[in-house]
Amino acid sequence: MELYASALRSAIVAPKGKTLEVGDFATIEVRVLFWLANEKFGIKQIIEGRDLYIEMACKIYGLDPVKLKEAYKAGDKEALFMRQLGKQVVLGSGFGIGVGGEKFQATCAQYEIDISLDMAQAAVRAYRELYPRVPIFWSNIEAAAIAALRNPGKRYRLGHLVWEMEGNRLTCQLPMGRKLSYFGAKLGSKQTMYGPKACLEYRGILSPSKIFGTVHTWGGKLTENVVQGVARDCLYESLLALEEQGKRVPVLAVHDEIVAERNLLNQPENPEGMLPDFLNTMGSVPPWAPGLPIKVEGWSEKRYRK
């Protein structure tokens, strides 16, 4: 099955006389998270084109970014490992992973990154220190959701988001204007190390049983919901823009990637000649997301690939 799965992408081929244009939103969830949380330092890193994974590794290990980057480019194994850990921290710590380190350690193990529990704890702490606005956002988004739940009919704005209780649904209006809904939302209580604390509950699909029941959520999970919702809206806007432009036909979307077919009649000798136009169209910042640092990378070929 692993062999069959690895061959699926290459089985998708453009029809005769056409080529595939593929664009991928680079680190879209990290970018959306920093934008929603107003994490200015993280946005500055992105705009300046700095290597977030290298700089995170330097934060964890107390190293100089220039030297680590040089060692990484030279293929030093230790530097490669450090950057890989930095990548996992940046991609995996934005939605409130615990400072206890057990979950992050287990996540790293899935990617064959073997670290001690002490290192896992240090890595999570490093993320929260480097991007302090993110954990603040977890707390604020939970507070806004609970305030809306306690005061039906009142709207609570948190940056680009608006929370409101509408009937038996707690809704979060995303920047695009559409809403996420939490059906049957109510206040519950959970025990923490600091004593009982109010928590948000709603009716949904439980994991891993996949049955309908009461779901408990909190700021980190709510953050994941809205970040993925906004990332989806960016993809949606790009699909519409490409379709309206009329130069190619979107045929497939995979996570944060769009695949389109373009007729080669206009440029038969240069299949990549229109690629910049495709990437620019796909990467246009939606009018409802001013300041969102979108970046799109891509390629053009006859056969689909990773």
- Residues 86-117: tens digit of each pLDDT: 999 999 999 999 999 999 999 999 999 999 99
Q: Is residue 306 pLDDT above 90, yes or no?
A: no
Residue 207's pLDDT band (boundaries 50, 70, 90)? Answer: confident
Residues 16 and 90 grouped into a single domain: no
Structural domain of 275: 2-27+228-301
| Model confidence, pTM | 0.92
In a domain, 171, yes or no: no
The reply to whether 89 and 58 lie within a common domain is yes
> Which band of pLDDT confidence, cut at 50, 70 and 90, is reported for residue 272?
low
In a domain, 121, yes or no: yes
81 within domain boundaries:
yes
- Residue 267 located in a structural domain: yes
Whether 91 is covered by a domain: the verdict is yes
The CATH code of the domain that includes 246 is: 3.30.70.370
Q: What is the mean pLDDT of residues 113-138?
A: 96
Q: How many domains does the chain have?
A: 2
Q: Is residue 294 included in any domain, yes or no?
A: yes
272 in Cβ contact with 63 (< 8 Å): no
Across residues 52-78, what is the average pLDDT? Answer: 95
pLDDT at 52 over 80: yes
Instruction: Judge if 10 and 82 occupy the same domain.
Output: no
CA 52 to chain centre: 14
> Are 115 and 85 found together in one domain?
yes
Q: Give the residue from 88, 105, 131 where a domain finishes.
A: 131
* Residues 265 and 17 sit within 8 Å (Cβ to Cβ): yes
Mean pLDDT over residues 149-178, rounded? 96
DSSP state, residue 175: T
Domain boundary at 73, 103, 131, which? Answer: 131
Instruction: Give the per-residue pLDDT at 185.
Output: 95
Q: Pick from 113, 131, 149: which residue ends a domain?
A: 131
Report the b/e string of 48-62 with b at 16+ CB within 10 A: eeebbbbbbbbbbbe
Same domain, 249 and 285: yes
- Which phi-psi region, left, alpha or beta, contains residue 232 (left: φ > 0; alpha: ψ -120 to 50)? alpha
